[in-house]
Amino acid sequence: MAARASADTAASDWHKHEFARARLVSAVSATGDLAELRLGLQIRLEPGWWTYWRSPGDAGLPAQVDWSGSENLADASLLWPAPERHTLLGIETFGYQGEVLLPVLARPKKRGEPVRLRASVDYLVCEKICVPAHAELAVDLPAGSPVASPFVDLVDRWRAKVPGDGRAAGLAVERVSLLRDDGAGASLAVRVAAREPLASPDLIVEGPAGLRFAKPRVIRAAEGAILVSAIATDKVPPDVALASGVTLTLLDGARTAEIKSPVVPGSAADLGGGGDLAVLGGVLLVALLGGLILNLMPCVLPVLSLKMMSVVGHGGGDRGEVRLGFIAAAAGIIASFLLLAGGAIALRSAGLAVGWGIQFQQPGFIAAMAAILVLFACNLMGWFEIGGPRWAFDAAESKAASHGMMGHFLTGALATLLATPCSAPFLGTAVGFALSRGAPEIVAVFLALGLGLSLPYLLIAAFPGLATRLPRPGRWMLHLRRALGVALALTAAWLIAVLASQRGAPAAAIVAALLVALALGFAFAQRLPGAIRRAAPLAVGAYVIATVAIAMALPATASRDAAMAAKDDHWRRFDEAAIPALVAEGRVVFVDVTADWCITCQANKTLVLKRGTVAERLGGGEIVSMRADWTRPDPVIGRYLTKFGRYGIPFNVVYGPAAPQGIALPELLTSEAVLTALDQAQAATRPMAKRP
User: What pLDDT sits at residue 311?
Assistant: 59
Reported as a pLDDT band with limits 50, 70 and 90, residue 397 is very low
Domain 560-682, CATH: 3.40.30.10
User: What pLDDT sits at residue 434?
Assistant: 72
Reported as a pLDDT band with limits 50, 70 and 90, residue 688 is very low
235 vs 440, residue with greater confidence = 440
Q: Does residue 82 register a pLDDT over 90?
A: yes
Q: Does residue 80 register a pLDDT over 80?
A: yes
| Three-state secondary structure readout of 512-565 | HHHHHHHHHHHHCHHHCCHHHHHCHHHHHHHHHHHHHHHHHHCCCCCCHHHHHH
Distances (CA, A) of 326 to 22, 197, 412: 66, 50, 9
Cβ-based neighbours of 96, under 8 Å, separated by 6 or more: 43, 45, 50, 51, 52, 53, 81, 83, 84
Question: For residues 134 and 19, is the Cβ–Cβ distance under 8 A?
Answer: no
Return the minimum-mean-pLDDT range out of 251-260, 328-337, 355-364, 648-657: 355-364
Average pLDDT over residues 659-682: 85
Reported as a pLDDT band with limits 50, 70 and 90, residue 356 is low
Q: For domain 171-273, is the CATH number 1.10.1760?
A: no
Distances (CA, A) of 264 to 54, 156, 185, 261, 272: 26, 37, 16, 10, 16
User: What pLDDT sits at residue 142?
Assistant: 94
Question: For residues 544 and 368, is the Cβ–Cβ distance under 8 A?
Answer: yes
Classify the C-alpha dihedral 366-371-376-382 as positive or negative: positive
> Widest CA span of the chain, in angstroms?
116
Write down the number of H helices and E strands in the chain: 21, 25
User: What pLDDT sits at residue 398?
Assistant: 42
- State whether residue 361 is helix, strand or coil: helix
- State whether residue 624 is helix, strand or coil: strand
CA 159/CA 165 separation, integer angstroms = 14
Residue-wise pLDDT tens digits, 48-63: 999 999 999 888 899 9
Reported as a pLDDT band with limits 50, 70 and 90, residue 234 is low
User: What pLDDT sits at residue 110?
Assistant: 94
Which residues are registered as beta bridge partners of 202?
251
- The proportion of the chain whose per-residue pLDDT surpasses 70, expressed as a percent, equals 75
User: Fold identical between 7-159 and 560-682?
Assistant: no
The CA-CA-CA angle for residues 427, 219, 287, to 5°, reads 15
- Give the helix/strand (H/E) hosting 639: helix 635-643
- The proportion of the chain whose per-residue pLDDT surpasses 90, expressed as a percent, equals 26
Which residues are registered as beta bridge partners of 52?
62, 95
Return the minimum-mean-pLDDT range out of 65-69, 268-272, 580-584, 628-632: 268-272
CA 263/CA 240 separation, integer angstroms = 11
Reported as a pLDDT band with limits 50, 70 and 90, residue 687 is very low
User: What pLDDT sits at residue 49?
Assistant: 93
Range ranked top by mean pLDDT from 27-31, 455-459, 482-486:
27-31
What secondary structure does DSSP assign to 391-455, as a single string? Answer: HHHHHHS-TTT---HHHHHHHHHHHHHHHTT---TTHHHHHHHHHTS-HHHHHHHHHHHHHHHHH
CB atoms within 10 A of CB 338: 14
User: What pLDDT sits at residue 684?
Assistant: 46
Average pLDDT over residues 451-457: 87
460 vs 475, residue with greater confidence = 460
Q: Which CATH class is domain 7-159?
A: mainly beta
CB atoms within 10 A of CB 307: 23
Average pLDDT over residues 350-364: 67
Reported as a pLDDT band with limits 50, 70 and 90, residue 602 is confident
User: What pLDDT sits at residue 506?
Assistant: 84
Return the minimum-mean-pLDDT range out of 17-21, 390-394, 442-446, 575-579: 390-394
User: What pLDDT sits at residue 300?
Assistant: 60
498 vs 23, residue with greater confidence = 23
Reported as a pLDDT band with limits 50, 70 and 90, residue 390 is very low
Q: Does residue 444 register a pLDDT over 60?
A: yes
User: What pLDDT sits at residue 386?
Assistant: 45
In a 13 Å sphere around the CA of 562, the CA atoms on its Cβ side amount to 5
Residue ranges of domains in the chain = 7-159, 171-273, 277-553, 560-682
Name the percent of the chain in helix, strand, coil, to the closest 5. 45, 25, 30
Average pLDDT over residues 436-440: 69
Identity (one letter) of the amino acid at 630?
W
Residue-wise pLDDT tens digits, 93-132: 999 999 999 999 999 999 999 999 999 999 999 988 889 9
Residue-wise pLDDT tens digits, 526-570: 666 655 556 566 677 788 788 888 877 877 665 454 455 445 568
Q: What is the mean pLDDT of the chain?
A: 79
Q: Does residue 1 register a pLDDT over 70?
A: no
- State whether residue 176 is helix, strand or coil: strand
